[in-house]
Amino acid sequence: MDITIKGLEHSYSKGTPFERKALSNINLSIPSGTFQTIIGHTGSGKSTLIQHLNGLLKPTQGSIQIGDFKIQAGVKEKRLKALRKHVGIVFQYPEHQLFEETIEKDILFGPLNFGVPEEEAKKRAARLIQQVGLDESYLSRSPFDLSGGQMRRVAIAGVLAMKPSILILDEPTAGLDPRGRREIMDLFYRLHEEEGLTTILVTHSMEDAARFSDDILIMEKGGIALQGGPETIFSNPEALKKLSLDVPETVQFIHRLEERFTKNLPHSVFTLEAAVDAALSILQKGEENS
Amino acid sequence: MQNIIIGQYVPGQSFIHKLDPRAKLITAFLFVIIVFLANNWITYALLGAFTLLAIFVSRLPLRYIYNGLKPILLVIILTFLLHVFLTKEGPLLFDWGFLEIYEGGVKQGVFISLRLLFLIMITSLLTLTTTPIDITVGIETLLGPMKKVGLPVHEFALMMSIALRFIPTLLEETEKIMKAQSARGAQFSSGPIKERLKSIVPLLVPLFVSAFKRAEDLAMAMEARGYRGGEGRTSIRLLKWSGKDTTLFVILLLLCISLLLLRS
Ligand SMILES: Nc1ncnc2c1ncn2[C@@H]1O[C@H](COP(=O)(O)OP(=O)(O)OP(=O)(O)O)[C@@H](O)[C@H]1O
Ligand SMILES: [Mg+2]
């Protein structure tokens, strides 16, 4: 499902002394199957933006089109539940949404709400609990006995179990250990590829943004500051610096290598392995020449 | 969710904002008592005038107050209807066989609803125009003498202020969890009643879990920062009684006397 956002504006607590404009004039289109990353400082409106994509927040101006669902300022959309079946959101700190007696029941909550037969839902739960890095023995345990990181994984499984076609991730790995972070991000990316999902990732990690994105959106003060593919975005460190954002370490490294050896290197080098290869290629060439 | 005004503080510079919290607390307290003095149209009109004046002077946006009252309006309407249908006094106004409405019932209904409305308005004004800290300091000073009889005044005041302080936080948390569960297909604001009732568990369980956790964290943080109860503790806020506060009391006194004279 393609997503098209036109002239979106959102003010919190409209009509009270606490009114606060969090988004203004957002125009954005995300074609089906894109891995879209959203970056921006804290308070720049990232969470506000993504909550519009399944009708949790209503625009105060503008419209959002998702497939054939249309959410418009001032118009009541009656098929929100149907829309939410297609758009899964993993919220910031999703572990706060756990409530059931057992982990299995909690994972089943979403699918059962959306009318998935119990048999099928249970199958999904059994598969997902492994995919998020726990094993089936956990299914019968209470979610409240788990560590924070494990709770996070269960909550993520609970959203994935709905089999959304658009998966929205709001800083899904914040507060996890580096290894857990990598595992979870790899899982999301694998699902993105295998199931042809549209993935929207909100993150503070430039490394993740560089590795996975088809397109990067940089937000500032409720608006769009920059947008483009990772190569375009990261080949312009000056623009990023102006927004007080960093380029990924690998990109920094490549730029330094280029300066040092006055050579041009490919700018699409975002993974650690690729950076190592690029460095080796320079060094080896150097040896051959000498 | 965003409309709830209970426990909210709206910063401002109005006459009422600048009053000494003690004056406001005493006024609110006395008001709750004198509301019961009113028993005819003119005394209710007086109380109404006082309430409206207070709202006007506070310079809070009327629409904000109205929106905040909406959830409570239902209770007031219900109260009204109960009195209208159940009080059988005075001349009969309507008679539809099974339903009889008497004049006394209508009068009673209007009075009781007005009383409720005034009480809610004045007490809301107190929290809307006073920071939780000021309320606490006010209560603590006012109840200060009770310490001598061994009442845990400081603890009580602290409890109050923590409760006030965390109402907005809890509402925020409620909203967040509602969103997370809605995204998983729970229905809170639309759909059949049965569905909505079922959504209460997925809302309340996480809410309680986080409230307890928050309480624990707060207690730990207070202890870590050396909190040891009220003994020898001074306040950074110094209360100052001013001409404004005396003015308020004169108005309140006048209101009291008029009520006593005019009530039937
Ligand atoms: N429920 C709310 N009520 C009122 N204002 C809000 C609410 N949620 C967010 N805001 C305000 O809207 C603005 C954007 O917030 P938002 O949560 O979208 O930021 P964010 O980019 O997700 O930040 P972070 O990286 O910290 O998650 C902020 O200024 C914030 O204060
Ligand atoms: Mg956010």
User: pLDDT tens, A204-240?
Assistant: 998 899 889 999 999 999 999 999 998 888 888 888 8
**In terms of domains, do A259 and A276 share one?**
yes
**In terms of domains, do A216 and A254 share one?**
no
What mean pLDDT do residues A86-91 have? 94
Per-residue pLDDT for A79 more than 90?
no
What mean pLDDT do residues B235-264 have? 90
**In terms of domains, do A179 and A286 share one?**
no
Which pLDDT tens digit goes with each residue over A109-143?
A: 999 999 999 999 999 999 999 999 999 999 999 99
When pLDDT is cut at 50, 70 and 90, the band that residue A255 belongs to is confident
- A residues 107-146 lying closer than 8 A (beta carbon) to B: 109-110, 113-114, 144
Per-residue pLDDT for B67 more than 90?
no
**In terms of domains, do A28 and A41 share one?**
yes
Per-residue pLDDT for A288 more than 70?
no
DSSP assignment of A13-30: TTTSTT-EEEEEEEEEEE
Amino acid A290: pLDDT: 56
Closest C-alpha among A53, A75, A56 to residue A64: A53
**In terms of domains, do A199 and A271 share one?**
no
Distance from CA of A279 to the nearest CA of B (A): 45
User: How many angstroms separate the CA atoms of B132 and B80, rounded?
Assistant: 33
Distance from CA of A15 to the nearest CA of B (A): 7
- Decide if A109 and B185 are in contact by the 8 Å CB cutoff: yes
Q: Is the CB of A44 inside a 6 Å radius of any atom of ligand 1? A: yes
**Model confidence pTM above 0.90:** no
Per-residue pLDDT for B2 more than 70?
no
- Decide if A16 and B201 are in contact by the 8 Å CB cutoff: no
Q: Which domain holds residue A283?
A: 248-290
When pLDDT is cut at 50, 70 and 90, the band that residue A184 belongs to is very high
Amino acid B258: pLDDT: 93
Q: How far is CA A108 from CA A88, A90, A188, B191, in A?
A: 14, 15, 20, 20
Task: List CB contacts (< 8 A) between B184 and chain A.
Answer: 84, 97, 109-110, 113, 158-159, 162
When pLDDT is cut at 50, 70 and 90, the band that residue A157 belongs to is very high
Per-residue pLDDT for B22 more than 90?
yes
User: How many angstroms separate the CA atoms of A164 and B34, rounded?
Assistant: 60
- Decide if A54 and B183 are in contact by the 8 Å CB cutoff: yes
Amino acid A272: pLDDT: 77
**In terms of domains, do A12 and A152 share one?**
yes
**In terms of domains, do A148 and A289 share one?**
no
**In terms of domains, do A118 and A222 share one?**
yes
- Decide if B184 and A97 are in contact by the 8 Å CB cutoff: yes
Q: What token pair was written down for B202?
A: 């997925």
Domain count, chain A: 2
**In terms of domains, do A282 and A151 share one?**
no
- CB of B92 within 8 A of CB of B102? yes
Which pLDDT tens digit goes with each residue over A2-35?
A: 999 999 999 998 877 888 999 999 999 999 999 9
**In terms of domains, do A110 and A239 share one?**
yes
Q: Which of A162-171, A277-286, B102-111, B121-130 is most confident?
A: A162-171
CB neighbour burial string for A225-237, b if at least 16 within 10 angstroms, e if fewer: bbbeebbebbeee
Amino acid A128: pLDDT: 94
When pLDDT is cut at 50, 70 and 90, the band that residue A289 belongs to is low
Ligand minimally distant from the alpha carbon of residue A170: 2
The atom of ligand 1 lying closest to the CA of A222 is 14
User: How many angstroms separate the CA atoms of B1 and B262, rounded?
Assistant: 41
Q: How far is CA A191 from CA A1, A3, A163, A195, B144, in A?
A: 16, 19, 10, 6, 64
Q: How far is CA B263 from CA A94, B38, B70, in A?
A: 59, 6, 30
**In terms of domains, do A27 and A164 share one?**
yes
Q: Which helix (H) or strand (E) holds B245?
A: helix B243-262
Task: List CB contacts (< 8 A) between A87 and chain B.
Answer: 183
Give chain A's mean pLDDT.
90
Which pLDDT tens digit goes with each residue over B165-214?
A: 888 889 889 999 999 999 999 988 777 788 788 889 999 999 999 999 99
User: How many angstroms separate the CA atoms of A70 and A75, rounded?
Assistant: 9
Ligand minimally distant from the alpha carbon of residue A222: 1
**In terms of domains, do A241 and A258 share one?**
no
What mean pLDDT do residues A70-88 have? 89
What mean pLDDT do residues B151-175 have? 87
- Cα–ligand 1 centroid distance for B187 (angstroms): 24
Give chain B's mean pLDDT.
88
Q: Is the CB of A43 inside a 6 Å radius of any atom of ligand 1? A: yes
Q: Is the CB of A22 inside a 6 Å radius of any atom of ligand 1? A: yes
- Cα–ligand 1 centroid distance for A12 (angstroms): 9
Q: Is the CB of A52 inside a 6 Å radius of any atom of ligand 1? A: no
